[in-house]
Structures are given as structure tokens and as C-alpha cells.
């Protein structure tokens, strides 16, 4: 067997080995606990980051849907504006044609009024000439009648004598 003197040395060496083994296990445990804590912290951070990314993606998706609806409404408004512009263009063309026709009629009427005014002026000139001629004839008739009355009066006077 083992001598008695060596047994306390072997026991001491065993205790040292056992203490060393315990220290190694304890440091490994601390290291593993630290790694586990860091891994859990990293997992929490990644989970938070993932949640933030998911939230941002949801917000962006909501923004995209809002933009799509805005684009659709803008397109609908643009189509309505194009239709209204086409209708207004047709109406404008009709108004331009009506204006052109009205201007043509106004010119015709102005020419007709001018011709009427010229005819009235010519008529007035002829009426004035006719009135002047009638006035002359009337004056001549009055003087002839006066002479006739004087001649009749002289004939009556001569017949009475």
C-alpha cells in the first residue's frame, strides 16, 4: 500500500487538483454565464431591432398603400380633368364658331344698315328736291292764280262798264 507519509501529500495534491478543477469550472461557469448573458442581451437587442424593423416595415407598407390610393385618386382626378378639358375644348370650339357666325352676321347687318342709311339719305335728298320743286310750283301756281284773279277782276270790271 501507500506509505502514510505520502498519503497526506497525495491528499494535498488531490485537494490542490480538486481546487484547481473547481476554480477552472467556476471560471468556465462565469465565462459561460457571461457568454449566455451576452447572447441573451444580443437576442433581446436583435428581437427589439426586428420588432422595430417590422414596425417600420408596417408603417412603410401603410405609407405605400396611402401613396397608392393617392396615386389612384390623382389619376382619377387627372382623367376627370382631361374629360372636362375635352368637353370645354368642344364647348370653346362651338363658342368660337358661334362668335365667328355672329361676327359675320354683324358685318352683314352693318352693311345692310349702311345701305339703308344711304337709301334713306338718297330718299331724303329726293324728298327735299321734290319738296323744293313743289314749293316752286306752288309759288308759281299762287302767282298764276293771283294773275288769274286779277284778270277775272278786270274782266268783270270791264263787263260791268
Question: Model-level pTM greater than 0.75?
Answer: no
What cell does 159 get? 263787263
pLDDT(136) > 80: yes
What pLDDT does residue 4 have? 78
What pLDDT does residue 6 have? 87
Phi, psi values for residue 2, rounded to 5°? -95, 135
What pLDDT does residue 44 have? 96
pLDDT(1) > 80: no
pLDDT(95) > 90: yes
pLDDT(107) > 80: yes
Report residue 157's pLDDT band, with 50, 70 and 90 as the boundaries: confident
DSSP character at residue 73: H
36-58 burial: b if 16+ Cβ within 10 Å, else e: eeeeeeeeeeeeeeeeeeeeeee
Amino acid at each position: 500500500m501507500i506509505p502514510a507519509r505520502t498519503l497526506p501529500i497525495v491528499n494535498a495534491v488531490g485537494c490542490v487538483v480538486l481546487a484547481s478543477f473547481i476554480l477552472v469550472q467556476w471560471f468556465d461557469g462565469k465565462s459561460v454565464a457571461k457568454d449566455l448573458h451576452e447572447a441573451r442581451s444580443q437576442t433581446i437587442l436583435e428581437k427589439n431591432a426586428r420588432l422595430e424593423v417590422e414596425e417600420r416595415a408596417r408603417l412603410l407598407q401603410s405609407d405605400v398603400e396611402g401613396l397608392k390610393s393617392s396615386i389612384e385618386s390623382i389619376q382619377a382626378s387627372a382623367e376627370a380633368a382631361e374629360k372636362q378639358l375635352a368637353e370645354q375644348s368642344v364647348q370653346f370650339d362651338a363658342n368660337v364658331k358661334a362668335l365667328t357666325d355672329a361676327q359675320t352676321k354683324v358685318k352683314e347687318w352693318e352693311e345692310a344698315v349702311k345701305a339703308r342709311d344711304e337709301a334713306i339719305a338718297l330718299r331724303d335728298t329726293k324728298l327735299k328736291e321734290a319738296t323744293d320743286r313743289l314749293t316752286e310750283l306752288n309759288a308759281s301756281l299762287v302767282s298764276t292764280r293771283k294773275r288769274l284773279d286779277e284778270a277775272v277782276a278786270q274782266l268783270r270790271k270791264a263787263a260791268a262798264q
